[in-house]
Amino acid sequence: MSLLPFIADIERLPKPADAEAVARGLEQWGQRASELNDHHEKASCAALASDRAGRALLSGLFGNSPFLSQALLAEPTILCSIAEHGFATSLGRVIDTLGEPSCFGAPRETIARNLRIARRRVAMIVALADLCEVWPLERVTGALSAFADAAIQAALSHLLKEASSAGQLPPLDPLDPTHGSGIFVVGMGKLGARELNYSSDVDLIILYDSERLKGASGDAQQTLQRLTRQLVTLLSERTQDGYVLRVDLRLRPDPGSTPLAISTGAAETYYETLGQNWERAAMIKARPVAGDLESGHLFLSRLRPFVWRKHLDFAAIQDIHSIKRQINAHKGHLVIALLGHDIKVGRGGIREIEFYAQTQQLIWGGRVPELRVAGTCPALRALATIGQTEQSVCGDLIEAYRFLRRTEHRIQMVADEQRHHLPPDDAGFGRIATFLGHRSGIAFGEELTRRLETVERHYAALFEDAPELGSGEGNLVFTGTEDDPDTLKTLSSLGFRDGSAISACVRGWHHGRIRATRSTRARELLTELMPALLKALGRTVNPDAAFMKFDEFLSRLPAGVQLFSLFYSRPALLDEVAEVMGSAPRLAEHLSRRVSLLEGMLSGDFDAPVPSREAIKAELEASLAHLVDFQDVLDGLRRYVHDGEFQIGMQLLRNRVSAAQASRNLSDLADAAILTLLPRVEAEFARAHGVVPGGAFAVLALGKLGSQELTFDSDLDLVFVYDAPEGLDSMSDGERPLAASQYYARLSQRLTSALTALTAEGRLYQIDTRLRPSGNAGPVASEVRALEQYHTEAAWTFEHMALTRARVLCAPPPLAERIGRMIRAVLHRRRDPAQLVLDVADMRVRIEQERATSNPWMLKHSRGGLLDLEFIAQYLALREGANHPAVLDRSAAEVFDRLGKAGVLGQQETLALGAMCRFFATLQILLRLTVGTARDEAKFPVGVRQTLARATEMRDFNAVRRRLMDAQAYVRSYFERTIERPAALARQRQRQIERKKGSE
């Protein structure tokens, strides 16, 4: 007769996968047996190694599980005890010991060691009962769960008794400190359902009734936070004796923003207002496992209406469906790769079976009490009983569940690791197959594949009429508190680099951490939108940055239902918004401030041509007419201009307008803003200082604004000019009169401040006034006669180059005409060609010394770039202005065209230089809109590259790069031929003349 009568069939014991490990283990077993002091135990252990069944069992342990081998060799008598008393009694003795006051009343080091030794014993007892097929799956998981309950209770009792003795908590019963304490632990997940694994963590929520803590001295809440940390350490910390349980507290309400221990009142409020359907699903398995169990049951009873809703509207049912539909069900037409497969959360895995049951429990459990069961298999049986699931499907899923859980247990038995993945290699896969009792890895693989495909087929059929929420590329699961591995893979395939950060952020949305997602309806809509939203963001130039911009956008919203409903009804709008978030940070910033623009994007007028400057001004005047307070005017002006910039930017991104037209539209918008603002600034200024009788004020636009080629984020180059009948001696007529020079200087500063001030609606423009006479050293506003004299007698050549793009933006007609005559006279003046080319070349050298770059995408300052092209145009305009006045124009492209018509340039030169102006301008405005000033080509996302190719009518981005290199080489060569070489010759002639004069 066998010494181990509970082994019914030796052939069903696991065969050893590692013969050498068996030999080592049996040798160590004999040595450990010889070291025992008790003669009976020594003899029993020695006999087991000789017993056929005993040797087969020991071989199966030593040859498959280093963890169980180590545990058995640490305490070999446990096998003898099981042989003598049976599994149930042996387990009961270990667990009962934990509930004795002598256990939880021991010093911290002692209870920590005792709990770890108890855990090792329980692991051995349960594993042996499992491997010997004495206990079915439910008994195995129930035993592991019972030990976890007892261990948590013992640890909590120890800590409560200690805190009560120190006066940190109210007086508690020393024989049972948890009784009546109001402090309890709710077990979630597998622990709550009594389905615990060998090595999985335990999901706990630590709760307390704050009314029960009123008798405590000091801050009882702080005490409980500290006590919770100590509980986690006592159970989870690894010592030389191992650990007790891995504790996870992240299933508590909104773990990212709540304390470790939470009051029952706060928890109830959370579930009533922000609780999600996945949290309802999690609560199906919840039960009090330790502490004041009476308080725990009362708490869960109060949550029953949250978990089991009798009436569900369509949106709620859709959201429950989404729990299942977030997992991409392949319906069996893709092969499941077994090596490395995750049998918990992978395709056809345990979680799909659990979700199959839980989602239906959530829908029907409010009206059918029979469905309110915690365990997975009991839930499946209940669904079959009420006819909600076919009996054959129920049988398939329960059989697969047991097979997969048994596989999961063997994986964890090997090394006591929280693992759910099958080995990634054939050798490891074969060892697990052997441990499970299969004749080969191939045979195991066939059995496993059949179960996985069965689960996947049934899971895919659940709610199959509902629209898919999967991304098409894989899972998108944002329920629970952990990253879903398949979801991270899906996010990566969609283009996101930091999938974990994206996943955590989405979970935060679902927790209602932002105002936009605090309503149930908003979260339900968001769940439906997530796949489409993430795919849209994934197609942008920088998916991670686009997502973070979208998060900022959502965070600023006061509510989300209206916006999410808009996205839901108009899915194409998501692509538009995603493009803004990923491609145009400036537009994204404005959209986050003005969500109402989204509705405007849907109107037919949004893509209509932007009206003329005069029409913009009229519309702007009308929008500001009702505003009295000057601050309101500034805010209203900013809203209008930013809205206009947004529309222009979107039209450019949508390829509805050319780069040249977008630049003209931006310039007209800036003109209209200044023209509308100036009279209001003058009126506001006149309240204190009056006006200068007979005086006049003008604003000159230079640079990009002057040539009406403005880009996004361009500075406005402005020069302020005034005329006073008595010159500098004129005085204003207000209560606080000012001299004309001071009056117009301050008026200029007021206008500049009104344009640049940062208000609640942002900044309007950056202003640069350094192109005024004498630059920063000169007066802010120039008197017109002084301006004329300066440009006639003292101005540098580079200042005349700037005048080639000057235009009077606003001024009374007489002053405008006078300034215009002065500009034309300066530009038409006959010049010394040698001195002109020297001055232009020297200016380019000075700029090169300050702004040199080897990056060709820094389009303005790279050699052969925009600046060289503009210098060529301005140089030729000044050189030819006297003989060919018609060549003068503010736009470089137009200058080249006019030079061609005048015969100064050949036809090929004219066409080439004009084409390069347009090419550079297109690249510049798009790059300003998308990547801003960050011009690292390696970081240009795909979307930006495609946009550049489309806008420049190139085949692809590589063609754009080649065109840029060729264009810069051409411009560089032309600049050398037209300016640098003639300047070098002129400089040489100057030196020769100077040497000749010196010799005379």
Q: Report residue 464's pLDDT band, with 50, 70 and 90 as the boundaries.
A: low
pTM: 0.65
Distance CA 975, CA 978 (A): 5
Give the torsion sign (CA, 378, 383, 387, 390): negative
- Residue 726 tokens read as 């008595």
Query: What range defines the domain where residue 177 resides?
Result: 86-307
Q: pLDDT band at residue 215, thresholds of 50, 70 and 90?
A: low
Average pLDDT score, the chain: 89
pLDDT of residue 333: 42
Q: Is residue 172 part of a domain?
A: yes
Give the three-state DSSP class for 978: helix
Q: Which CATH number fits the domain that encloses residue 864?
A: 1.20.120.330
Q: What is the full DSSP assignment across 622-677?
A: HHHTT--SHHHHHHHHHHHHHHHHHHHHHHHHTT-S-HHHHHHHHHHHHHHHHHHH
Choose the final residue of a domain: 562, 583, 604. 583
**Confidence band, pLDDT 50/70/90 cuts, at residue 615:** very high
Inside any domain, residue 452: no
Domain count, the chain: 3
Tell me whether residue 274 is in a domain. yes
Instruction: For residue range 787-818, list pLDDT tens digits in order.
Output: 999 999 989 999 999 999 999 999 999 999 99
End position of a domain, from candidates 523, 548, 583: 583
Q: Nearest 5°: CA angle at 19, between 16 and 24?
A: 110
Residue 910 included in any domain: yes
Helix (H) or strand (E) holding 696: strand 696-702
Enter the DSSP assignment of 208.
E
Residue 611 burial (10 A CB sphere; 0-12, 13-18, 19+): middle
pLDDT of 310 above 50: yes
Query: How many of the other CB atoms lie within 10 Å of CB of 460?
Result: 18
Q: H-helix or E-strand containing 569?
A: helix 561-569
How would residue 932 be classed by pLDDT, with cut points 50, 70 and 90? Answer: confident
In degrees and rounded to multiples of 5, residue 347 shows phi and psi of -60, 135
- What pLDDT score does 761 carry? 83
For residue 876, tell me if it sits in a domain. yes
- 852 belongs to a structural domain: yes
Could you read off the pLDDT of 162-211 as tens digits, one per residue?
998 888 888 888 889 999 999 999 999 999 999 999 998 999 999 999 88
Q: Which of 228-242, 490-504, 586-600 has the highest mean pLDDT?
A: 228-242
**What is the average per-residue pLDDT within 105-120?**
94
What is the model's pLDDT at position 473?
Answer: 62
Assigned domain for 16 exists: no
User: CATH number of the domain that 154 lies in?
Assistant: 3.30.460.10
Q: Place 87 in a pLDDT band, splitting at 50, 70 and 90.
A: very high
Looking at 288, 307, 326, which one is the last position of a domain?
307
Q: Is residue 850 part of a domain?
A: yes
